[in-house]
Amino acid sequence: MKSGKHKVLHPVAGRPMLLHLLASVAELQPERQVVVVGAGREQVEKAVAGGNIAIAVQEKQHGTGHAVAQAHDALAGFAGDILILYGDVPLVRAETMRSMLERLNQGDELRAVVLGFRPEDAAAYGRIVADGQGLIDKMVEYKDADAAERAVTLCNSGLMAVRSTDLFVLLDKIGNDNVAGEYYLPDIVMLPGSRSAVIEAEEWEVAGVNSRAELAAVEAVWQERRRAEAMRDGATLIAPETVFFAHDTVIGRDVVIEPNVVFGPGVTVADDVAIRAFCHIEGATIGSGAEIGPYARLRPGAQIGARAKVGNFVEVKKAELGEGAKANHLSYIGDAIVGPGANIGAGTITCNYDGFFKYRTEIGAGAFVGSNSALVAPVKIGDGAIVAAGSVVTKEVPADALCLVRPEQQGKPGWAAAFRARMQARKAAK
């Protein structure tokens, strides 16, 4: 990845790959979880902190079998089934994991269940030779395969289900007599004894990430599936390929999303919302019937009430807009409460930061803030009050009052014509 960040912590849809995988694992309610890590242990430990996850360290990398063996102590006394997964293979569904465990326990005394797939280009994947019932005859790494084995299209994803009573006994039996001199996890399948089986997944589900390009490809797969889900659940995406969701985006029914909209983490959108083109929304809650954009930015803490409107080039941060409130043009609303039915004129800003601390602005129900006003927080505008355009408000405005903060306009008849004549004469003299 050419990065200071651990590979498995690079994000897909705003969530680290490892946490995508662990979220799917959590659906199975596992008794124990162990993450085996080599370099970058501190980063991984921090990412999974609080998740009741044990960390096992592989100090030297001697292959996948050696890596799994490092989990031995963390699984001491455990008497159940073990799923072996990979942190850089983030899209595996919980349903697939369940299928692996179910196949392991179907009663035909399987040693292991391997998750296979059939890619468009088998490339250098390890191959699985199996019969019509999915019972495995042979598994072989590509670099060790002969021509006939390389012609097989069923490939090994590396994911496996094994009984805890078998796993570490089998790992003790495998050797490293291969081209790489490593201990391969798949070799436990080929040890003499009971049989193993393969079940198949789609290629996208077992896609691994080893480069920035592969990270982008997995992101594209995730986004395509999420867009399809949103439309299936009742949202309209005008140009689906231009909309990007986060892992936790919640979209209601009859929501219309126009082109080029990006959702960061922490967004909930209620029913009947319209999100116009070129909006960026993160950490926000949008009430039913609201209209956002175009070209709006909702930052964390934005709470947009039912039927409220946030228009073009309006930024909202850590602020609440009440039901039916409007900020239609060119405004910044930060650390504020805007009451129901209030109107925020074009060019209005809440001056919430003095370089050291943030302060709060309160705008009452039905208040009208004229264009190009600056509300210097902390400040309160009462219900039904009117702030005249161009005002700089530094004191509380009572309910139903007019706030007018600007010098009296003066007029000098003929001044402009005289000025032009004077300037033209001066220019001609040069």
Q: Which residues pair with 199 in a beta bridge?
A: 115
Q: What is the DSSP string of 144-189?
A: G--HHHHT---EEEEEEEEEHHHHHHHHTT----STT----GGGGG
DSSP 264: -
C-alpha closest to that of 267 among 233, 302, 222, 305: 302
The number of beta carbons lying within 10 Å of the beta carbon of residue 336 is 24
What letter represents residue 378's amino acid? P
Closest CA to 161 of 202, 105, 91: 105
Residue partners of 27: CB distance under 8 A and separation at least 6: 94
Q: Cα torsion for 78, 80, 82, 83, to the nearest 10°?
A: -130
Give the number of other Cβ atoms within 10 Å of residue 403's Cβ.
22
Whether residue 329 lies in the annotated active site: yes
358 is written with which tokens?
């943030």
The whole-angstrom separation of Cα 324 and Cα 404 is: 25
CA dist 44 and 316 (Å) reads: 34
Identified catalytic residue from 62, 72, 247, 329? 329
The residues assigned a catalytic role are 329
